[in-house]
Amino acid sequence: MRLNEFGQIVEYCWEWLENQYEYVELDAYVVMPNHLHGIILIMDDRRRGGSRTAPTKRKSLGRLIGAFKTVSTKSINKTRGIPNSVVWQRNYYEHVIRNEDELNEIREYIANNPLKWESDEENPDVYPMAF
């Protein structure tokens, strides 16, 4: 995918999650024209320091996604000059990855997802809206 200005904002805000929250690591992801696929790893607090390191208060996955949507929506709307416009759908799909095989399968799905855009029913170049 070649990202336009809004896609670049989405990518920047997705990567912001990892910089903002020390217990978040991002794995494979792809920004599509109408959605995002990504793997978020929520790490164990012990990974970041010694046994005397105070545990950090962690956001749930839903709150992390909410933070991403809020930050990216505000930035996109500022760029467009359209305050309070909806950018994301209300919910999101989540799946707990339970083993290495499943992780690799999902990584492959994410890597190949841009190839499917040419036949996506929401691609306006393939299925133009008829009025």
The 10s digit of each residue's pLDDT in 53-112 is 566 689 999 999 999 999 999 999 999 999 999 999 999 999 999 999 999 999 999 999
Quote the pLDDT of residue 45: 61
CA 16-19-25 angle, 5° bins? 95
Domains of the chain: residue spans and CATH: 5-48+56-118 (3.30.70.1290)
Residue 131's pLDDT band (boundaries 50, 70, 90)? Answer: very low
Q: How far apart are CA 75 and CA 81, in angstroms?
A: 10
Residue 36 reports pLDDT greater than 70: yes
Cβ–Cβ < 8 Å for 23, 45: yes
